């Protein structure tokens, strides 16, 4: 099996396309690295780049992109709505096929070591690469943002994992780590009632809902925090949202599709919808999805999963998840391995 890793570096520049073109152009100078997406956000003043390829080539590509970014982006001039702490704000490595989370952890460590030594860039390890509980969550590392780095770096508890514990005004600081792929997935309902979608989301998401007494007041635990009724699924974030003024949707992030799959959550939403007298009308994937996630769903929906080939199983997933209702679902563009030119 061909080894593939995805990397999704976030750069603190979302308004100057020439800068982003220079960064991505340097990344693509590495053979076998494929650019899947470039998402520039003007208000955030931030760009999210998605590349995929063999592990060592992806590593070299993102190091080259980092060098260009640090040359062209000056954090002293940066402002935007999104939390940020550096010109190269975060560099996650994600296993796609033929690779493991440990592989991605090691890639993040290699990245941190290289850029800290070659560019004197301070780097924190986060997510699966974190060396302490305080550094697992990116929002905890970003707290105080760029403007708070002078004080933060003087605190021994927040010394970088790699690089100097000193404020670098033009570059700021970077976080890197291995993490699971996040699948953004929405399911539409035949109602304009957002509360119904929110009710379903609360029953299913990992965090569940706040426990209330018979008077509707929050039940507070011994630790002073509201107690919660856990939801049905693990590794799932969900909320009620509106697709348009006439259509409510359950909007979700699947944090680990091997734990909570697309078909499992879809069928649960169908069951909960029936209890409310509603129906699921469409599914929607935002961004790209790994092939295995589609195969897992396709084997559930296929009438002949043992004899169907890969393409037929993917089509079963598209039908079962109703991904072709809102728009055509172009598998060769929306499945990571196929978009990268890998057909299995």
Active site residue 263: no
CB 189 within 8 A of CB 284: no
Whole-angstrom CA distances from 211 to 56, 201, 223, 272 are: 48, 15, 15, 19
How does 266-288 read in b/e, with b if 16+ C-beta sit within 10 Å? bebbeebbeeeebebbbbbbebb
Question: What is d(CA 18, CA 24) in angstroms, rounded to the nearest whole number?
Answer: 10
User: Could you tell me the sign of the dihedral formed by the alpha carbons of 14, 18, 23, 24, in that order?
Assistant: positive
Tokens coding 222: 């011994």
Would residue 172 be called left, alpha or beta, if left means φ above 0 and alpha means ψ between -120 and 50 degrees? left
Helix axes 262-275, 194-204, angle to 10 degrees: 130
Beginning with the edge strand found earlier in the chain, give each strand of the sheet holding 247-254 in spatial order. 236-244, 247-254, 183-189, 280-286
Helix axes 291-301, 262-275, angle to 10 degrees: 50
Residue ranges in 50-100 assigned as alpha helix (H)? 55-72
Q: Which of 15, 67, 82, 194 is catalytic?
A: 82
Tokens coding 178: 């291995």
Known catalytic residues are 82
């Amino acid at each position: 099996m061909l080894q593939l890793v995805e990397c999704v570096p976030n750069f603190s520049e979302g308004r100057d396309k020439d800068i982003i073109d220079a960064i991505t152009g340097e990344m693509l100078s590495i053979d076998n690295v494929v650019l899947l997406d470039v998402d520039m956000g003007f208000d955030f003043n931030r760009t999210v780049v998605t590349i995929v390829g063999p592990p060592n080539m992806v590593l070299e590509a993102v190091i080259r992109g980092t060098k260009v970014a640090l040359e062209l982006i000056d954090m002293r001039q940066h402002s935007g709505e999104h939390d940020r702490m550096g010109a190269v704000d975060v560099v996650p490595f994600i296993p796609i096929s033929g690779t493991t989370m440990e592989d991605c952890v090691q890639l993040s460590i290699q990245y941190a070591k290289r850029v800290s030594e070659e560019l004197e860039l301070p780097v924190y390890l986060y997510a699966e690469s974190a060396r302490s509980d305080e550094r697992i969550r990116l929002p905890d590392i970003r707290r105080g943002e760029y403007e708070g780095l002078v004080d933060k770096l003087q605190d021994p508890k927040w010394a970088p994992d790699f690089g100097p514990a000193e404020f670098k005004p033009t570059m700021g600081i970077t976080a890197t780590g291995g993490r699971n792929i996040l699948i953004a997935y929405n399911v539409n309902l035949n109602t304009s009632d957002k509360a119904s979608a929110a009710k379903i989301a609360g029953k299913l998401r990992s965090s569940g809902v706040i426990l209330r007494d018979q008077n509707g007041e929050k039940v507070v635990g011994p630790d002073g925090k509201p107690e919660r009724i856990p939801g049905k699924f693990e590794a799932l974030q969900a909320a009620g949202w509106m697709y348009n003024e006439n259509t409510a949707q359950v909007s979700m992030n699947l944090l680990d599709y091997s734990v909570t799959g697309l078909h499992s959550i879809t069928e649960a939403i169908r069951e909960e919808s029936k209890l409310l007298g509603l129906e699921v009308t469409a599914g929607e994937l935002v961004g790209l999805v790994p092939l295995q996630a589609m195969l897992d769903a396709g084997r559930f929906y296929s009438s002949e999963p043992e004899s169907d080939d890969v393409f037929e199983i993917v089509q079963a997933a598209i039908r079962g998840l109703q991904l072709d209702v809102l728009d055509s679902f172009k598998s060769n563009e929306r499945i990571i391995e196929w978009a990268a030119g890998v057909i299995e």
